[in-house]
Chain A
Amino acid sequence: MDIYINGKKCKAVQGETILEIAGKNGVRIPTLCYHSDLCLAGNCRICVVDVDGARTLQTACTAMASNGMKIWTNTPRVIKARKMNIQLLLGSHFGECYTCPRNNNCELLKLAEEYGIEELPFPKKGKRTGALEITPSITRDPDKCIMCGRCVRTCEELQGVHAVKPVGRSNDIHIGTFFNQGLMHTSCTMCGQCINRCPTGALYETSCVQPVWDALADPDKYVVVQTAPAVRAALGEEFGMEPGSRVTGKMVAGLRRLGFNKVFDTQFTADLTIIEEGTEFLTRLKRTLVNKEKGLLPMTTSCSPGWIKYIEHFYPELLTHVSTCKSPQQMFGPLAKTYFAEKEGINPAKMITVSIMPCVAKKYEADRPEMNASGYKDVDYVLTTRELAKMMKMAGLDLKDMPVEEYDNPFGISTGAAVIFGATGGVMEAALRTVYEIVTGREIPFKNLDITPVRGMEDVKEAGITIEGVKEEYKFLEGAKVKVAVAHSLSAAKKVMDKVRSGEADYHFIEIMACPGGCLGGGGQPIPTSPEIRKARARAIYEEDEAMTIRKSHENPAIKKLYEDFLEKPNSHKAHELLHTHYLKRKRFDKVK
C-alpha cells in the first residue's frame, strides 16, 4: 500500500509503523521511549506526528500505517508539542549535565539541543535529592529518571526478571522494586541491560575508576589487568569508531600507557575454562551414561555471572546442572595471585588484579565472598568497557592514535576458541572443538572449524553431533548423539530451563549468556546498543578468531605449561581449589521487613 509522508508517496506493508516507514524513507522522527530491542510503550509522546483525519497527534512508534494515510512529521503543532513534552520532561529531571556519567551521550540532552530549548517556561518541579541506590554493579539515580520505562521493559521482556516496576502514579510515579526494598533484595541479576537502554544517566555502573587510579599511582602495588574478549570488539565505539572495529592491539597499548604492570588477556583463562569445563562435561557424561547417575545432565555453562544469579533465584533446584567452573575472570584472579605471583616473586598481598569487562554483573561476581581462592580477593576491581574508555580519555589517550601492541606473557597467550567466548554460541563452539578432538583424536568435522549452527542471533539455537570412531577410554560415547543448546538473554534462558525442569529437554550441554548477543551485548558495553550494533561486534569477534594462529583451546601452549608446572591435570585437586566454585540457592525476593 501507499502512504504519504510530508506529501511524498512511500511504499508500506501492513503492520508497519509510521516510524519504520519514515526511517526507510529517510525521514527522521525523534524518539525517546522507543528502543529497537523492546516492545512499544508510546509513553514519552516525543515521536508524535500529524495524521490527516485524526483529532489528536499520533505516536509514530505505535501507529500502524493504513492505505492512503497522510502523515505530516513537522507541522507547527507537532514541533510545538514535541518541544513542550521535552520541556515537561526536563522540568522533573534533576542533575547537572557536567557531573553526569552520560555527559555527551544523553538522549534527553540531545533532544533538548535539537529542539532549541533555551529555558523552561515554568519553574522546575523540585531539586536534586542526590538519593542514589548503589549496588556492587548498578547505580540508580532516580532524580534523572524520566519514566520512559525502558528499564522496566528490558527487565521484563528481554530478561524475564521483573526486578523493577513502575510504582505509584501521577507525579509520585517512580521506578521501584518489590516493596521498595532495593535491587539487592530482589531477583535482580545485575546484568545491567537496563543501563544500556536508559536514555539518561538514571542508571549506570557503580564505578571503580578511582580505586584503580589509586592503585596505579601506588608505587607499592603491582597492578595487573585482564581484558575480556568482547571488549576488543566494542571499545572503539567509545572513541567514535564504527561498531565492529577490532581494536585489540590498540587497547593493549592504551592499557600499558595507563600504567598497568602487566597487560594480560582473559582469553587465556577462557582457554583454561574450556579444558576444565570440557573435562567436567566428559566426566558428567560418563557418570550419567555408565554409572546411570541423575541430575548431572544437561550441564550448563557458568561463565556469565548474570546467568548464575538468575538460576540461583529462578531455578535453584537445578543448580547441580551448572558447571562448577568459575568464569574466566574468576579463574584469572587466583592464578595471578598464586601461579604468576610465585613465578615472578611478587607478594600477592601487594598485587592488584583489575579486569576490563563488557559486563556489570562481573563486579558483583568479583565481590562474592567465596571468590578468594588465592587467600586474597581474587579480582580486586572490575571496570566496564565504558569505564576503561573514560580512564583513557582522562589520560589523554585516543584509542585511534594508539600503536598496536601485544599482550604480556604468559597470560597473554590465547586461541581463537577463546575470543569467541565474547559472542553467543562461542563457549559452546570452543568446547565442541576441544571435546570432540579429545574424544576422537580428530578435528571436529566442520569446515574451517566454524560450527555455524551455534552461531547467530536466534535466541535459542540447537545442534547435534554424532560421535563416531572414539578413542579407547571414551568407548561409552561411541555412536552417541550429543545434543546442545545455546541461549542468550535471560528470557531465552527461561525457555530452555523450563524444558529442562519439565524433563522435556534432551540436551547434554547448554550454553547460556545473560545478555543478548552474549558478552558483546553486555551491560558494560558502549551505549547505545541495537541488533545491528551487536551483529557488527559479533562479526569483529569471528574475524579475530579467523585471524588467530591457534584456534583450539587445548593447543594453547601456555595452558599446557600451566598444567605441567602448576595444576598437574584438568580437574585436579589444585584446579578444583582455585578454578571451581559452588552456588547459592536464593529466593525470588527477600521477606518484607
Chain B
Amino acid sequence: MPAAGFVLEKRKQGEALKKAFEINRAEITDMIKDSGLKGRGGAGFPTGLKMYLCGAAADTIKYVICNADEGEPGTFKDRVILETVPEKVFEGMAITAYVIGAKEGIIYLRGEYEYLKAGLENTLDGMRKNNLLGEKILGGNFDFDIKIVLGAGAYVCGEETALIESLEGKRGEAKNKPPFPVSSGLFCHPTLVSNVETFCNIPHIVTEGAQWFKNIGSEKSAGTKLVSVSGDVKKPGVYEIPFGMKVKDLLKLVEAGNTKAVDIGGASGIVIPESQFDREISFEDIPTGGSVIVFDKTRKMIDVMENFMEFFLDESCGQCTPCREGTKYFVDAVEKIKNGRITDQELKNLRDISNCMKLTSKCGLGQSSTNAFISILDNFKEELLS
C-alpha cells in the first residue's frame, strides 16, 4: 500500500465529531466543498454540494443513508472498510447528520454481507456507550443513531433512488429524478445517500482540513481511491491509490504480467487495451467505483463480453423500455459473434440500441450497461470479428 493511504487506518474515535461541534454547520459544508470530495460510489457527485442541498431543504425529518450495497462486479473495497474501520464510516455519517440536521442514519448493507452485521452492531454499541451515537452526543444537543438494513440482492438497489424504494418496502426500482433524494428521499424526506468510502473520508477532512485533502490526488479528483483489484495479477486485493494514478502504474503495483486488457468500473465500466494503459484513474479520465479487473493474454474478450452482458440481462429491473428490452439483443449478439455470424448492419443496429439506452434509460444501470460491450467491440475488434 502506498504511503498516501489513510482511509483504512484507525484513528481516534470521536475526534472529528468533537471538532465538528466546535465549528458551525455552514463552515463544515464549505470545508467539504473546498476539499473537492466527490462520491466514491462511482458517479462522483460533489459531496459538499450534496450536504449543502440536503441541509438547505426545509424539513424537520431528514435521513443519512450509507450505501453499502456494494454490488458492482469486481468491487469489494467497501467490505474491507466495514471490516477494518466501520467506526470512521459511522463518525462520517454522524458529522453529515449534524450538518444537515438529521437524527436517523441507515446503513443499507448488501444482503451477501449479512455476516458483517454482528460486527457492525458491536461497533455501533461501542460508539453508543462512548456517547458518540445516541442521545445528546458528546454531551451536546445533537441526537443521532444508526440502524442496519439488509438489502435483498438486487444490483439496481445500489442506485440511490432504488435503494430508497427498497428501504420503503417497495420493489427496488429507480425513481424519476428530479426530485433528487436531497429534497425528497426516504419517505419523502430530504435524504443524503453516500457511499461507504465517502463517509470514511469525512472525519479526515474535518480534522486535517480541506487543503490537506486537496493536495492528494489529481486536479479535479481530490484524495485517494480504494480500488479492488482482481483477475490475472499476482497480488489481488484492495489498494488505496491517489487519484490520477496511471493504469500501467497500478498494474505494476499489483504485479500483473502479460496483461491484455483491464476493466475499470466493473460491468458498467469500460474495458481498455494495452495501448490505453497510460490513461489515469480519475473523474476526469476513467472513473471507477472501485472495480479493476485485469485480463491477461490467455483470456478471450468474447467471454468477458458475455459475462457482463448476461449480468445485465439478469439485473435490469425491467421497468423502463430501453434497459428492459435492449439488453437481450446484446446477449444475442455475443452468441452471434461467437459463431462468426454477426453482420455489419447488426453491429450498427446494436450501436443504435446502445445509444438509445444511454440517452433514455431511467437510471445509471441502463445508461451504462452497454459500456463494456461497446468498449470491447471498439478496442478488440480484430480479435472479436476475425
The chain A residues found within 8 Å of chain B, CB to CB, are: 40-46, 48, 56-57, 59, 62-64, 77, 80-81, 84-85, 88-89, 91-92, 121-122, 125, 146-147, 149, 165-166, 168-173
Contacts and interface: CB of A to CB of B under 8 A. Distances in A.
Contacts of A48: 359-360
A85 B321 contact: yes
Interface in B294-340: 312-322, 324-329
Contact of B318 (A44, A77, A170): A170
Contact of A170 (B171, B324, B329, B355): B324
B75 interface: no
B2 interface: no
Contacts of B315: 169-170
A146 B324 CA distance: 11
A59 B176 contact: yes
Contacts of A40: 176
B352 A121 contact: yes
Nearest to B362: A42
B325 A89 contact: yes
Contacts of B256: none
Contact of A169 (B316, B322, B359): B316
Nearest to B349: A121
4 closest cross-chain pairs (CB), A and B: A173-B318, A88-B325, A84-B356, A170-B316
Given A42-B362, A88-B321, A171-B318, 20 more contacts: A40-B176, A42-B176, A42-B320, A45-B322, A48-B359, A56-B358, A56-B367, A59-B176, A59-B362, A81-B355, A81-B359, A84-B355, A85-B321, A92-B325, A147-B319, A168-B318, A170-B312, A170-B327, A171-B324, A173-B317
A42 B329 CA distance: 23
15 contacts: A42-B176, A45-B321, A64-B178, A84-B352, A88-B321, A88-B325, A88-B353, A89-B325, A147-B321, A169-B316, A170-B314, A171-B313, A171-B327, A173-B317, A173-B319
Contact of B313 (A80, A88, A170): A170
B154 interface: yes
B319 A166 contact: yes
Interface of B: 154, 171, 176, 178, 312-322, 324-329, 346, 349, 352-353, 355-356, 358-362, 367
A168 B319 CA distance: 10
A43 B320 contact: yes
B327 A43 contact: no
Nearest to B175: A42
A28 B360 CA distance: 19
Nearest to A50: B359
A43 B174 CA distance: 10
B318 A166 contact: yes
Contacts of A169: 154, 315-318
A530 to B, nearest CB: 22
Nearest to A85: B321
A121 B312 CA distance: 21
Contacts of B312: 170
B356 A44 contact: no
Contacts of A84: 322, 352-353, 355-356
Contacts of A166: 171, 318-319
A249 B322 CA distance: 49
Contact of A62 (B176, B313, B314, B319): B176
Contact of B349 (A63, A85, A122): A122
Given A43-B362, A81-B356, A170 B326 contact: no
Contacts of B171: 165-166
A36 to B, nearest CB: 17
Nearest to A125: B328
A554 B93 CA distance: 71
Q: Point out which of B176, B319, B327, B328 has the most chain A C-beta atoms below 10 A from its C-beta.
A: B319
A337 to B, nearest CB: 49
Contacts of B320: 42-45
A493 B78 CA distance: 48
Residue of A57, A122, A173 with most chain B CB atoms under a 10 A cut-off: A122
Contacts of B349: 121-122
- Most chain A beta carbons < 10 A, residue from B329, B346, B359: B359
A63 B360 CA distance: 13
B174 to A, nearest CB: 10
B127 to A, nearest CB: 37
Given A77-B359, A169-B154, A43 B319 contact: yes
B166 to A, nearest CB: 13
B328 A45 contact: no
